Structure 1
Amino acid sequence: MSAQPAPGPVFPEIDPDEVSSNPSGNRSFQDVASTFLSRRAALRGGTAAAAGFLVAGSLSGSAVASPPAHAAAAGKPETPGKPVAPGKPGSRGLLGFAPVPTSSDDAFTVPPGYETQVLIPWGTPLSPRGPKWRKDGSNTAAEQERQIGMNHDGMHFFPLGRGKEGNRRGLLVLNHEYVDQQLLFPDGPTEMTREKVAKALAAHGVSVVEVEERKGVWQVVESRYARKVTGTTPVEFSGPVKATHPKLRSNNAPMGTLNNCSHGVTPWGTYLTCEENWNGYFGTEDSSWSPTPEQARYGINAGGFGYRWHLADERFDVARNGNELNRFGWVVEIDPTNPKAKPVKRTALGRFKHEGCTVVESRGRVVAYSGDDQDGDYIYKFVGDGNWRAHRALGRSPLDHGTLYVAKFEDDGRGTWLPLSFGTGPLTKKNGWQDQADVLIRTREAADALGATKMDRPEWIAVNPKNKDVYCTLTNGTGWPGEANPRTPNPYGHIIRWAEKGKDHTATTFTWDIFVLAGDPAYDSSVDLNEDNIFGSPDGLWFDDEGRLWIQTDISNSSQNLASRGYDNIANNAMLAADPRTGEIRRFLVGPRGCEITGVITTPDRRTMFVNVQHPGEASAAWGSPSPANPRAVSNWPDFDPEGRPRSATVVIRRTDGGVIGA
């Protein structure tokens, strides 16, 4: 084997998602938002009033979004009522726990009256009879195929049984976004081998595992459903882009799913896993290679994210096997109760860096929302054609038949969904588009051509079950023109919400507002949060059935805990809960050092919550960098084994009195 270059920096100075690859001249949300706020300020008497529009009426532990300015439009977002102080007698607020303080400790902290249990950390066998975890990281690729993957992310609980049985037994299906090669291999990533690539691929993807509560303790049990979907699992393509498409012809059979971030769940009971930063796995040593404009638009370059898999596996050499990368960037459907069914990449939902895929039903049709998680990219939704039950009855997937749209936000608080349909607007043969498959393979370029609004890294999307308002986290960004991106730069992020016209998710127009501006008021006076609820870089987002909005944070380890980045007071990543009716927000938990909090779901009775802790102990500018000699340099959570290493894990959270989580 030829000499291999040394790995890149242990951690980047900036998250790759924070670097835009969008060269279009489309207007950005920051420009829209700034104009919007200027108009609000003129109406309400200055910049202070404009800031108050964003997060007004703060009380102890609360932050409240003001009524939207666009009340004349049909289907406006819900107007919050008067805020209530935490614990006020007679309060009808949804939040009934004491706020947890910020923390920089290597610990997982929850409110008084709650208890936790660590479940299925990386390396846990899918079956009690499976290969055991080796704390020195020496499990083989074959063993990792039969173990829980690395870096847990989006997750859903599928009950097995009805009533009480479904609250104590079910399938946990969870994503594994990426791998930390410093921790995955005993000797780190300095020398890349075929075995290391195989193990890394086995640690990616999706785990399906059956869990059951026995005598108050949740545990993995033997199951016919248990399986892994990894970077080498055979897959199918369905919808307008077929596996036989010329741009998908590769040197190997269609296989694998990578960088599985958030997820979705369909009305018919399947799981949707979303391929986000798939571009970072490809690279080449061929100095004559350079990316095409299409590849550059998706962030493809010779170095990738430093994985260097192309040194040992030609599949990831972009110069030798360039079409392989076109097989990624899709939403993948998995049937958790049919281990023999191939995962299917649903191409009608478009190809980009899918952060998630939130599915709702409207007028009998399926609607799926998705953010493209890169600075300066867009928000999308797919609207199915016809009744989804009718499609299923005819043996067709409702996700193969419909229209993909991209969002355009206007200064006056209105918005439009623009169809990404071949032959519509600029998407014609005259302008270089071949057919609908071409539009979907080049989704980003098609959205550029339509004039969609650039956003500050759109991430998870959640729909309020009480009034159908839609919320989206915008983690952070360099700042783009447009009212929907209210700061330049935007290091803390914010959450926007919109209401589809007539509360119909299939509508092509909407009205929007900013729900909350994240950050620390010590560094940004426009932020109206306090010590009980300051947060930055919102990422994960989920509504429970009672209408609580759970907000999870993903502060980059290049910023986490650093005063120079304005994140010292915010400290470790956390999860908060918000009451959209009152605007009240409280911090519910704080994670260990170096981690991201991501993935949340409860049992149907809402008395058991599952939350994922991703990449604890990862390289951090504040705490240092793990190495083969000292994998515990940043964190030793959750095992705290003096000879072990940090491990991503799912945490079970319950109230000691058996009550509803958060109430």
Structure 2
Amino acid sequence: MKEGKNSIQLGSGDEPPSNHSNNPHINDVLAMGRRQLLSGSAALGALAFLGTVFPGTAEAQSARSKKPSSRLPFTAIATSRADQVIVPEGYDCQAFIPWGTPITGGYPAYLEDASNTAQDQAEQTGMNHDGMHFFPIDTPIGAGIRSDHGLLVLNHEYIDPGVLHPRGPSETDGKRTSADEVRKEINAHGVSVVEIRRDNRGQWAVQPSARNRRITGSTPMKIEGPAKGHALLQTRYSPTGTSTRGTLNNCSNGFTPWGTYLTCEENWAGYFASRDSELPRELSRYGIEKTGRYGWETVAGDEFQRFDATRSGENAQSDYRNEPNTFGWIVEIDPFDPNSTPVKHTALGRFAHEGVIFAPVKPGRPLVCYAGDDTRNEYIYKYVSRDAYRPRRGNSQNSQLLDEGTLYVARFNADGTGVWLPLDIQDQSFQAACVAAGASFADQGEVLINTRLAADIVGATKMDRPEWGAVNPDNGDVYFTLTNNSERQETDAANPRKPNSYGHIIRWRESSRDYAGTRFRWDIYLLGGPQGVGLDPRGNSLTADNILASPDGLWFDKDARMWIQTDMSGSQLSQGPFGNNQMLVSDPTTGEIKRFLVGPVGCEITGIAATPDLRTLFVNIQHPGEGSTPDSFISNWPDGNGKRPRSATVIITRKDGQPLMQNKSTRAK
């Protein structure tokens, strides 16, 4: 999600930076590592262990002379600022399930003037599509191979109030005046579960199914894990601290080996307000401010007052001082059971979750997953379950793997090694770090509610907005996008990124075969930027075919090609060489990168999933025409003809019906 100023009219900003610790920044680590590289030290072998080399080395010169065969059988498209989705020759692209598509209940039609009610919105796809996953319809029986029928589950990150309502939000003196408008905004958040089917002509359609479902910002949720029932989670709604209402700012996602969906709460802090003069650390360290992003707390009624975290009662059970503590988690949803209650798993930590990805899963081994905290100068985390994964156990038993385990945070060393630092109150190293910092926690639940503070204390490495992650299915290497950091002010002359306007991609390889260990080795896969600044995985300058900035979405297909999506904003979109946001494909084996898709004006490219046969690719186009007002639509995608912009999924296929990356010489007969 973009950096920007929060306001009721737009409301598309990130959390304000709130990490004031003295922990080393990833920029400092890179600077030291780069100095060692350029001085010819032994660190070259450490930082290039995965095949990446830096410019100026003999290895880089050698890499330039190699011309490996391509696994990217398409012609790279040019950058563009057209108000349309562009894909390479030989491919088709079709808009699908845009915001407002009826999927459940009374199936209310989308009204072009945006006059749909709050109840209508609760029965339609939400706004600003983001992370998603395709579940083949035969997933519950353990097959998961159907490519013509399944559930498409997708997040709706935030709203554009100027587009959501006919004339924008109603307000007077900074206070919202329509409860139904606010209720509609809450219902436009969350998750959509949509059953879809492909016919004999290759056309996809929504099915009128009992499985279709909307999970919104007011849907009841259970709380599980070490923080369940904690005093800091007790509210007027849930005096026992075991439940809450809704999920918000759902950015990227994940999916479990047992066939459930994980949605991740990212920039949730801006939805809440507190007028208290002094905030507890579980609010101040997460950037809670005096007013909320959309002003929901200014409307009367318990369903809205929960967004006001000001202390107004005698205790936590009589007000909503702790309501923000019930957000910032990873939420599990069973897409095949529309009557199931979503679960917030507190063992995975509380922060601005961009997404969650799993290491290769092996029966009889612990479950391992990774998540990034998408805020400037925050951290990358790993979770290792206490118990082993057993495929034949039921969903409820497997779900408990996400409630009992150890959360770690990453420290990236300058020599190309890394350490996972446990955030475990029983761990002696964590206890020693707390003593040294003069900090204390009552129990593990409090550690996890204050995950960011715990990571500060153990000395994790500050990163430049860790976003999506992905695991290479060929070798298990883990990749993470670091989108950018506009506030970096380091002055190290050896570091060319001051500030980091373009972002980069980092990767690492775990030292333990089961991924559960505490050591890893890392390098930089790609440096974003224009020609002459950005560097590809072999140390060459990026070209017109692959220049990019602000890498965000990341995904591997089953053939180990990496798909990279961008989220540029501001001047990078309006001027310069990059054009509109885009999606590229990279082959980690050869280092080749090509631009595959460019989106319409003002959008972000985000969310990606495919059918098992790789003949259909689903990609989300978020906030086309961002910044539009009721009187001025910056984009008219996808409906055209002057109509208001609508976030939507696009379906991409090859015109010849073959798999997306099928080479002509190896086509299936």
TM over 0.5: yes
1:559 aligns with 2:571: yes
Specify the SS of the correspondent of 1:446.
helix
Aligned AA for 2:160? D
Q: Which range is displaced more, 123-132 or 452-461?
A: 123-132
Specify the SS of the correspondent of 1:434.
coil
Maintained 8 Å contact 2:106/2:123: no
In structure 1, the partner of 2:416 is 413
Q: Which of residues 77, 93, 113 in structure 1 aligns to 2:70?
A: 93
Q: Which of residues 239, 262, 267 in structure 1 aligns to 2:225?
A: 239
Maintained 8 Å contact 1:210/1:223: yes
In structure 2, the partner of 1:520 is 530
Q: Which of residues 623, 628, 631 in structure 1 aligns to 2:630?
A: 628
Q: 1:485 deviation in Å?
A: 8.6
In structure 2, the partner of 1:379 is 380
In structure 2, the partner of 1:327 is 326
Q: Which ranges of structure 2 fall in alignment gaps of 5 or more residues?
A: 1-5, 239-243, 313-319, 663-669
Maintained 8 Å contact 1:101/1:532: yes
In structure 2, the partner of 1:37 is 34
Q: Compared with structure 1, are the counterparts of its residues 524 and 502 closer, same or farther at alpha carbon in structure 2 (3 Å cutoff)?
A: closer
- Structure possessing the higher relative contact order (Cα contacts under 8 Å, 6 or more residues apart): 1
CA distance in 1, matches of 2:219, 2:192: 12
Q: 1:289 deviation in Å?
A: 3.8
Q: 1:216 deviation in Å?
A: 2.2
Q: Compared with structure 1, are the counterparts of its residues 347 and 484 closer, same or farther at alpha carbon in structure 2 (3 Å cutoff)?
A: farther
1:493 aligns with 2:503: yes
In structure 1, the partner of 2:135 is 158
Q: Compared with structure 1, are the counterparts of its residues 451 and 639 closer, same or farther at alpha carbon in structure 2 (3 Å cutoff)?
A: same
TM-score (ref. length: structure 2)? 0.86
TM-superposition CA deviations, 1:484-507 (whole Å, max 9, x none): 997221000000010000443112
Specify the SS of the correspondent of 1:471.
strand
Aligned AA for 2:208? E
CA distance in 2, matches of 1:28, 1:81: 32
Q: Compared with structure 1, are the counterparts of its residues 639 and 575 closer, same or farther at alpha carbon in structure 2 (3 Å cutoff)?
A: same
CA distance in 1, matches of 2:477, 2:155: 26
Q: Which ranges of structure 1 fall in alignment gaps of 5 or more residues?
A: 1-6, 57-63, 70-78, 620-625
Q: 1:303 deviation in Å?
A: 2.6
Q: 1:523 deviation in Å?
A: 6.4
CA distance in 1, matches of 2:493, 2:103: 47
Q: 1:629 deviation in Å?
A: 2.5
TM-superposition CA deviations, 1:214-246 (whole Å, max 9, x none): 22211101112110111111110111011x321
Q: Compared with structure 1, are the counterparts of its residues 484 and 404 closer, same or farther at alpha carbon in structure 2 (3 Å cutoff)?
A: farther
Q: Compared with structure 1, are the counterparts of its residues 128 and 282 closer, same or farther at alpha carbon in structure 2 (3 Å cutoff)?
A: closer
1:535 aligns with 2:536: no
Matches for 1:228-307 after TM superposition, within 5 Å: 228-242=214-228, 244-253=229-238, 254-284=244-274, 286=275, 289-305=277-293, 307=294
CA distance in 2, matches of 1:157, 1:148: 16
Specify the SS of the correspondent of 1:499.
strand
CA distance in 2, matches of 1:485, 1:271: 40
Aligned AA for 2:588? P
CA distance in 2, matches of 1:83, 1:505: 33
Maintained 8 Å contact 1:31/1:483: no
CA distance in 2, matches of 1:390, 1:578: 32
Q: Which of residues 109, 112, 119 in structure 1 aligns to 2:96?
A: 119
Specify the SS of the correspondent of 1:264.
strand
Aligned AA for 1:463? V
1:615 aligns with 2:613: no
In structure 2, the partner of 1:438 is 446
Q: Which of residues 146, 149, 174 in structure 1 aligns to 2:126?
A: 149
Aligned AA for 2:40? L
Specify the SS of the correspondent of 2:306.
helix
CA distance in 1, matches of 2:599, 2:607: 13
Aligned AA for 1:603? T
In structure 2, the partner of 1:315 is 306
Maintained 8 Å contact 1:32/1:483: no
Maintained 8 Å contact 1:29/1:485: no
In structure 2, the partner of 1:640 is 640
Q: Which of residues 605, 614, 624 in structure 2 aligns to 1:597?
A: 605
In structure 1, the partner of 2:317 is none
Aligned AA for 2:488? G
Maintained 8 Å contact 1:348/1:440: yes
Maintained 8 Å contact 1:201/1:232: yes
Q: 1:171 deviation in Å?
A: 0.3
Q: Which of residues 464, 475, 478 in structure 1 aligns to 2:483?
A: 475
Q: Which range is displaced more, 472-481 or 32-41?
A: 472-481
Specify the SS of the correspondent of 2:133.
strand
CA distance in 2, matches of 1:81, 1:443: 44
Maintained 8 Å contact 1:518/1:527: no
Q: 1:322 deviation in Å?
A: 1.8
CA distance in 1, matches of 2:351, 2:168: 30
Q: 1:560 deviation in Å?
A: 3.5
Matches for 1:51-66 after TM superposition, within 5 Å: 65-66=52-53
1:342 aligns with 2:341: yes
Q: 1:290 deviation in Å?
A: 4.4
Q: 1:330 deviation in Å?
A: 0.2
Specify the SS of the correspondent of 1:532.
coil
Q: Compared with structure 1, are the counterparts of its residues 196 and 38 closer, same or farther at alpha carbon in structure 2 (3 Å cutoff)?
A: same
Aligned AA for 1:479? R
Specify the SS of the correspondent of 2:397.
coil
In structure 2, the partner of 1:218 is 204
Aligned AA for 1:237? I
In structure 1, the partner of 2:316 is none
Maintained 8 Å contact 1:32/1:484: no
CA distance in 1, matches of 2:540, 2:110: 45
Aligned AA for 2:266? E
CA distance in 2, matches of 1:550, 1:433: 41
Aligned AA for 2:413? E
Q: Compared with structure 1, are the counterparts of its residues 474 and 411 closer, same or farther at alpha carbon in structure 2 (3 Å cutoff)?
A: same
TM-superposition CA deviations, 1:159-209 (whole Å, max 9, x none): 114899811111000000011111111121242222112111111110000
Supply the RMSD in Å over aligned alpha carbons: 3.0
TM-superposition CA deviations, 1:440-489 (whole Å, max 9, x none): 00000000000000000000010000000000000001337799997221
Q: Compared with structure 1, are the counterparts of its residues 10 and 569 closer, same or farther at alpha carbon in structure 2 (3 Å cutoff)?
A: farther
Specify the SS of the correspondent of 2:39.
helix
Specify the SS of the correspondent of 2:322.
helix
Q: Compared with structure 1, are the counterparts of its residues 174 and 258 closer, same or farther at alpha carbon in structure 2 (3 Å cutoff)?
A: same
CA distance in 2, matches of 1:416, 1:637: 46
Q: Compared with structure 1, are the counterparts of its residues 510 and 107 closer, same or farther at alpha carbon in structure 2 (3 Å cutoff)?
A: same
